[in-house]
């Protein structure tokens, strides 16, 4: 496979989604993992990796004109991948991800099908709706944790919905900051993102509020006895980075919040030890 088809997936994002599946699985199992579920866990991690990649590719397909302005270096707007090929590529990835989910259980199949439909409509329509696009995209992030827990079964969710909620709030904030960064190109194309509709300053306040909400709620899994002190220590460091990200430029915010989210992933993982 040409390297451009790997690059367009943005593998680091796909790996983060796979790690969220692993964390959801570990938290749901409460540290006691049934070895017979390992093959299904592997299928789940690969499935979500491919699903995340498919979502990124189909977003790039529909964002072709936007990325010509905001991100001309990417494989699609730079011409290294044909636009029509990218759509076929995303559909193939979706189908493989769903096929893998078929070998896990009914809960994962249903979530995979719902998210596939949502991802297609998100890329085509929802993404261009103020705030709704931010919410739907953040659901994808949160649902990776739920997907991991559902590998074990719906009755074993435990603390996972709370972790998913923290991921959801922090990602909504990150997405709004991303829209602030892309305002120039979005305005030229007549898009109606939240910063364009309510203004850059108010959008920044809204983004900061969501990130701060995630920070304020982040100790809850420890206070409720759901995760160990290891979680609290690592998530405190992530929280400091999240708070710092509120005072930098939107482009830098994207970098710092990504670092904080990766650290939060490891905090969740450490919390089950």
In the block, residue with structure tokens 């409460």: 30
44 within 8 A of 147, measured Cβ to Cβ:
yes
Q: pLDDT tens digits for 50-92?
A: 999 999 999 999 988 888 887 888 998 888 999 989 999 999 9
Burial class (CB in 10 A: 0-12, 13-18, 19+), 190: exposed
Q: Quick one: 125 and 213 in the same domain? A: no
Q: Rounded to an integer, what distance in angstroms lies between the CA atom of residue 19 and that of residue 45?
A: 7
For the stretch 166-211, pLDDT in tens is 999 999 999 999 999 888 777 877 778 899 999 999 999 999 999 9
User: Using CA atoms, how far apart are residues 235 and 208, in angstroms rounded to an integer?
Assistant: 18
pLDDT > 70: percent of the chain: 99
Domain boundary among 124, 158, 192: 158
Which pTM was predicted? 0.91
In DSSP notation, 229-256 reads: HHHHHHHHHHHHHHHHHTTS-HHHHHHH
41-60 exposure pattern, b = at least 16 Cβ within 10 A, e = fewer: bebbbbbbbbbbbbbbbbbb
DSSP state, 55?
H
List CB contacts of 182: < 8 A, sequence separation 6 or more.
66, 70, 193
Same domain, 150 and 167: no
Domain final residue pick, 158, 180, 205 = 158
Give the Å distances, CA to CA, from 250 to 8, 166, 214, 256, 261. Answer: 23, 21, 18, 10, 16
Q: Supply the CATH number for residue 210's domain.
A: 1.20.120
Residues 237 and 272 in one domain: yes
Mark whether 12 and 118 lie in a shared domain: yes
Rounded to whole angstroms, the Cα distance separating 141 from 128 reads: 18
Residues 154 and 217 in one domain: no
């Amino acid at each position: 496979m040409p390297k451009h088809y790997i690059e367009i997936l943005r593998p680091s994002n796909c790996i983060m989604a796979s790690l969220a599946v692993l964390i959801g699985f570990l938290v749901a199992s409460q540290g006691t993992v049934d070895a017979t579920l390992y093959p299904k866990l592997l299928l789940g991690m690969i499935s979500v990796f491919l699903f995340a990649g498919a979502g990124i590719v189909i977003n790039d397909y529909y964002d072709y004109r936007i990325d010509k302005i905001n991100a001309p270096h990417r494989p699609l707007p730079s011409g290294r991948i044909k636009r029509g090929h990218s759509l076929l590529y995303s559909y193939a990835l979706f189908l493989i991800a769903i096929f893998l989910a078929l070998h896990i259980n009914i809960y994962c199949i249903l979530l995979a099908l719902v998210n596939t439909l949502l991802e297609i409509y998100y890329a085509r329509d929802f993404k261009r709706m103020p705030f709704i696009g931010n919410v739907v995209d953040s659901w994808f992030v949160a649902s990776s944790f739920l997907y991991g827990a559902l590998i074990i079964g719906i009755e074993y969710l435990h603390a996972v919905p709370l972790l998913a909620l923290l991921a959801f709030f922090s990602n909504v904030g990150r997405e709004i900051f991303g829209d602030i960064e892309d305002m120039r190109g979005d305005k030229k194309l007549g898009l109606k993102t939240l910063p364009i509709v309510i203004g850059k300053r108010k959008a920044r306040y809204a983004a900061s509020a969501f990130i701060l909400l995630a920070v304020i709620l982040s100790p809850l899994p420890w206070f409720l006895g759901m995760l160990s002190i290891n979680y609290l220590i690592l998530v405190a460091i992530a929280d400091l980075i999240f708070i710092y990200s509120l005072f930098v430029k939107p482009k830098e915010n994207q970098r710092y919040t990504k670092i904080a989210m990766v650290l939060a992933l490891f905090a969740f993982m450490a919390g089950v030890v």
